[in-house]
């Protein structure tokens, strides 16, 4: 059994990327894993100030929801990011959270496998590539970890557009493969 953290970065409840995340969660739980989903909707996540105090303190000096999220990520075996793609890039709230996780850099971490689930109105094969590159930049700071898999569903824009899409079953299967 692995501890899996799924971070849904869309601020739109019931969004397509959130629905993809839910299917991954269902699959990972069916495989017997301990799974927790963290939605950034309603979370207070401020921008990094670049003060680097986190490097000395081991936590961020900003008093918001990020330190609690970091504590969960550090203890996870698997970290899954779910994001809508805006302008061919990860959501701003995902990038802000990644920037704020700078306090983790010097800490011991348990996660080895990182996954990216993404959705977009655009459906071209290259649509998620910049988001994948951005996430890979974060992963590169944790040399014991790797980008273990990605799943992209294009052609979905309005909430619920993904309903009935075969990518939902693919997310379920990807979650079931965690073990």
Per-residue pLDDT tens over the stretch 146-155: 999 999 999 9
In three-state form (DSSP H/G/I as H, E/B as E, the rest C), the secondary structure along the chain is CCEEEEEECCCCCCCHHHHHHHHHHHHHHHCCCEEEEEECCCCCCCCCCCCCHHHHHCCCCCCCCHHHHHHHHHHCCEEEEEEECECCECCHHHHHHHHHHHHHCCCCCCCCEEEEEEECCCCCCCCCHHHHHHHHHHHCCCCCCEEEEEEEECCCCCCCCCCCCHHHHHHHHHHHCCC
Does residue 113 have a pLDDT over 90? Answer: yes
Does residue 88 have a pLDDT over 90? Answer: yes
Domains of the chain listed by start with CATH number: 3-176 (3.40.50.360)
Does residue 119 have a pLDDT over 90? Answer: yes
Averaged pLDDT score across all residues of the chain:
96
105: pLDDT confidence band, cut at 50, 70 and 90? confident
Whole-number pLDDT of residue 13: 81
pLDDT digits (tens, 9 = 90+) for 5-25: 999 999 998 899 999 999 999
Burial letters for 19-45: b for 16+ Cβ neighbours within 10 Å, e otherwise? bbbbbbbbbbeebebebebbbbeebeb
pLDDT digits (tens, 9 = 90+) for 52-84: 999 889 899 999 999 999 999 999 999 999 999
Whole-model pTM?
A: 0.97
């Amino acid at each position: 059994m692995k501890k899996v953290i799924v971070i849904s970065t869309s601020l739109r409840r019931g969004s397509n990327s959130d629905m993809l995340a839910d299917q991954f969660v269902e699959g990972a739980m069916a495989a017997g894993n301990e799974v927790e989903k963290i939605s950034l909707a309603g979370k207070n996540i401020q921008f990094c100030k670049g003060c680097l105090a986190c490097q000395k303190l081991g936590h961020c000096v900003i008093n918001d929801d990020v330190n609690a999220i970091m504590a969960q990520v550090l203890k996870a075996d698997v970290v899954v990011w779910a994001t809508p793609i805006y302008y061919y890039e990860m959501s701003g709230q995902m990038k802000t959270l990644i920037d704020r996780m700078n306090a983790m850099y010097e800490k011991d971490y348990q996660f080895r496998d990182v996954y990216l689930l993404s959705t977009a109105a655009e459906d071209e094969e290259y649509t998620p590539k910049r988001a994948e590159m951005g996430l890979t930049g974060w992963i590169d700071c944790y040399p014991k970890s790797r980008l273990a898999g990605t799943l992209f569903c294009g052609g979905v824009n309005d909430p619920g557009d993904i309903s009935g899409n075969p990518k939902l079953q693919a997310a379920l299967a990807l979650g079931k493969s965690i073990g």
